[in-house]
Amino acid sequence: MLNEIRQDAQSRMQKSIENLEANFAKIRTGRAHPSILDAVMVEYYGSEVPISQVANVNVEDARTLTVQPWEQPMVAKVEKAIMMSDLGINPVTVGNMMRIPMPPLTEERRRDLTKVARSEAEQTRVAIRNVRRDANGDIKSLLKDKEITEDEARRAEDQIQKITDEMVKKVDDLLAEKENTLMEV
């Protein structure tokens, strides 16, 4: 029973970390990366779909993405969706292929992105602490129902705390790494 609680808490905390990594990948560092366009939605036959479902998104070089829609009529819609996004990038269309140069980040924009990264990290820390709270609540209810002893409960809570500390350290490490990549010129 206690192992199940610990494993469940650990897997939920790990999912929070994976979510943080995905969110960090979306924060632009000035280098071209296909995941930058993941949030861009394109109108496709009456429904909104991610850009990756209507076009190939590739990296041409360190500062340029290429987008090639699979259907000719989609070129204008994809171009408009990219321009309307809040990414601050403008595609250059040649035929049915778009090149998207990544503008260099200004110092002010780098600071703003660092604040966004810190906010994401704090939300992940809160999520991890919420998982810890839930796990400790489960342990306390087992103790209340006399299914485990006080010593077992204390040991289990200590294990949950160790897992929590490890996960928060991972969040801090990921944040420090992201801040470094954002601030390097």
What number does CATH give the domain 2-26+106-183? 1.10.132.20
CA distance 185 to 182: 8
Encode pLDDT of 38-63 as tens digits: 778 888 888 888 888 888 888 888 78
pLDDT in tens, 5-30: 899 999 999 999 999 888 887 776 66
Q: Regarding beta strands 47-50 and 55-61, do their DSSP bridges make them parallel or antiparallel, or are they unpaired?
A: unpaired
Q: Give the pLDDT band (50/70/90) at residue 106.
A: confident
The string of DSSP codes covering 51-103 is: GGGTEEEEEEETTEEEEEESSTTHHHHHHHHHHHSTT----EEETTEEEEE-P
pLDDT class for 168, splitting at 50, 70, 90? very high
pLDDT band at 36; cut points 50, 70, 90: confident
Q: Where are the domains of the chain?
A: 2-26+106-183, 34-101
Q: Of 127, 153, 149, whose CA–CA distance to 140 is shortest?
A: 153
Q: Helix (H) and strand (E) counts for the chain? A: 4, 6
Q: Which architecture, in CATH terms, is 34-101? A: 2-Layer Sandwich (3.30)
